[in-house]
Amino acid sequence: MEICHPHNLNQKPDQVKPYGIRISLPRGATFGDLLGKDWEQHHWFTTFEERDQTLNDMASEHLYSRQGDRPRLIFESIEMPEESDSN
């Protein structure tokens, strides 16, 4: 069965996507009571430009947010470690 929306994260990607965004909760966030204090989510991208554009969008005030609302998540750009050839 095909996935309806490509942004769903329930399958491993078919291609290498070394540029990522780690999303986590700030210390003391009450949402951590629901998700777990060490909750984090990763999104992976083929290019760093795509990653950085998405990161800017995720961390910005969104069109339908109330005025003054700010995301209460931590967004970090990350890169997948290169696999070693020692195997």
Q: Which residues in the chain come in under a pLDDT of 70?
A: 1-13, 70-71, 83-87
Supply angle C-alpha 57, 62, 65, rounded to 5.
155
* Cβ proximity of 38 and 22 under 8 Å: no
Please name the helix (run of DSSP H) or strand (run of DSSP E) that holds residue 31, with its range, or none.
Answer: none
Residue that the structure tokens 């339908």 belong to: 64
Pick the closest to residue 30 from 84, 72, 62 (CA basis).
Answer: 72
Which residue blocks in 1-87 are alpha helix, DSSP H? 32-35, 48-59
* Each residue's pLDDT tens digit, 2-26: 556 666 655 565 778 899 999 999 9
pTM equals: 0.70
Domain residue ranges of the chain, discontinuous segments joined by + = 16-27+38-57+73-78
